[in-house]
Structure 1
Amino acid sequence: MTETISGRVVRPGAVVPGSVEVDGPTILDVTERGHPGDDIIVPGFVDLHCHGGGGHTFTRGDAEAARAAAAFHLRHGTTTTLASLVSSPYELMRDATAAYLPLVADGTIAGVHYEGPYLSHTRCGAQNPAFLRDPSLEELTALVELGEGAVRMVTVAPELPGALAAVEFLTGHGVVAALGHTDATYEQTLAGIAAGATVGTHLCNGMRPAHHREPGPIVALLDSPSIVCELVADGIHLHDGMLRFAAHAAGPDRTALVTDAMDAAGMPDGRYELGGQEVTVADRVARLARDGSIAGSTLTMDAAFRQAVGAGLDLPAAAEMAATTPARVLGLADEVGALEAGLRADLVVLAPDLTVKRVMRAGAWL
Structure 2
Amino acid sequence: MLQGYILTPQGFLRGRLHFSEAIEAIEEAPVDGPLILPGFLDLHVHGGGGREVMEGQEGVEATVRFHLRHGTTGLLATTVTAPLGSLEKALRGIREAMEGPLGKALLWAHLEGPFLNPGRLGAQPPFPLPPDREAAELLLSLAPVRVVTLAPELPGALELVRFLAERGVRVQLGHTEAGYEEALAALESGAMGFTHLYNAMTGLHHRTPGVVGLALERGRWAEAIPDGLHVHPAALKVALKAIPGLYFVSDAVAAAGMPDGTYPLGAHRVEKRKEGVWLGESLAGSTLTLDQALRNLVAWGIPLEEAARRLSWYPARYLGLSDRGEIAPGKRADLVVLDQGLKVLEVYLGGQRLV
TM-score using structure 1 length: 0.93
Query: Offset at 1:110?
Result: 1.6
- Which residue of 2 is the match for residue 32 of structure 1? 28
* Alignment partner, residue 312 of structure 1: 301
Amino acid at match of 1:245: V
SS of 2:68's equivalent in the other structure is helix
Post-superposition shift, 1:326?
Answer: 0.7
**Partner residue, 2:345:** 357
SS of 1:230's partner is: strand
Secondary structure at the residue paired with 2:312? Answer: helix
Query: What pairs up with 1:137-216 in 2 under 5 angstroms?
Result: 137-147=133-143, 150-216=144-210
State the Cα RMSD in Å.
Answer: 1.3
Q: 1:259 aligns with which of 243, 250, 272?
A: 250
| Amino acid across the alignment from 2:224 | L
Mark the runs of 5 or more structure 2 residues left unpaired by the alignment: none
- Tell me if the contact between 2:276 and 2:283 (Cα under 8 Å) persists in the aligned partners: yes
Give the deviation of 1:38 after TM superposition: 4.4
Structure 1 residue 328 and structure 2 residue 317: aligned? Answer: yes
The Cα shift of 1:99 comes to: 2.4
Task: Tell me, yes or no, if the aligned pair for 2:132 and 2:160 is still in contact at 8 Å.
Answer: yes
Kept in 1, the 8 Å contact 2:336–2:344? The answer is: yes
- 1:127 match: secondary structure: coil
| Equivalent residue pairs, number | 351
Partner letter of residue 242 of structure 2? Answer: A
How far apart, CA to CA, are the structure 2 residues paired with 1:219 and 1:96? 34
Q: For residue 354 of structure 1, what is the amino acid of its counterpart? A: L
> Following the alignment from structure 1 to structure 2, what is the Cα–Cα distance between the partners of residues 110 and 320?
18
Counterpart CA distance in 2 for 1:245 and 1:145 is 39
Deviation at 1:12, TM superposition (A): 3.2
Structure 1 residues 63 and 183, CA gap change in structure 2 (3 angstroms)? same
**1:98 and 2:65 aligned:** no
TM-score (norm 2): 0.96
- Give the superposition deviation at 1:338: 0.5
Indicate conservation of the 8 Å contact 1:17/1:32, yes or no: yes
Indicate yes or no: 2:41 matched with 1:52.
no
Residue 230 (str. 1) matches residue 223 (str. 2): yes
Which residue pairs with 1:220 in the alignment? Answer: 214
Q: Specify the code of the residue in structure 2 equivalent to 1:19.
A: R
- Work out whether 1:69 is the aligned partner of 2:63: yes
Q: Assess if the C-alpha contact under 8 Å between 2:171 and 2:190 holds in 1.
A: yes
The answer to whether the 8 Å contact 1:10/1:315 transfers is no
Amino acid at match of 1:51: H
Q: How does 1:276-287 map to 2 (within 5 A)?
A: 276-287=267-278
Work out whether residues 202 and 230 of structure 1, in 8 Å CA contact, stay in contact via their aligned partners in 2.
yes
SS of equivalent to 2:325: coil
Who is 1:346 aligned against? 334
> Is 2:259 the counterpart of 1:268?
yes
Per-residue CA deviation, residues 79-137 of structure 1 (Å, 9 max, x unaligned), is 000110000111111222122212223324221111011111222111122x0121110
- In structure 2, the CA distance between the partners of 1:273 and 1:102, relative to structure 1 (3 Å rule), is closer
Letter in 2 for 1:321: R
Residues 276-317 of structure 1: CA deviation (Å, up to 9, x unaligned): 1221111111000xx311000001010011111111111221
Residue aligned with 1:197, SS: coil
Q: Determine the C-alpha separation between the residues in 2 that align with 1:13 and 1:191.
A: 38
Kindly provide the CA deviation profile for residues 190-234 of structure 1, in whole angstroms up to 9, marking residues without a partner as x. Answer: 111111111210000111111010111112123325x31101011
Letter in 1 for 2:254: D
SS at match of 1:8: strand
Check the 8 A contact 1:13/1:316 in 2, yes or no: no
Contact 1:52 1:58 in 2 (8 A): yes
Structure 1 residue 87 corresponds to structure 2 residue 81: yes
Deviation string, structure 1 residues 321-351 (Cα, Å, up to 9, x no partner)? 100111112221x211001110100011111
Q: Which amino acid aligns with 2:350?
A: A
Supply the AA of the counterpart residue of 2:286: S
Task: Give a deviation string over 1:250-288, Cα, whole Å, max 9, x none.
Answer: 23xx01110000011000001112121221111111000
The offset of 1:55, in angstroms, is 0.8
What is the aligned partner in structure 1 of residue 38 from structure 2?
Answer: 43
Q: Find 2:5's aligned residue among 8, 13, 28.
A: 8
How many Å separate the matches in 2 of 1:219 and 1:88?
30
Residue segments in structure 1 that go unaligned for 5+ positions in a row: none
Out of 268, 289, 309, the position equivalent to 1:300 is 289
Match of 1:249 in 2: 242
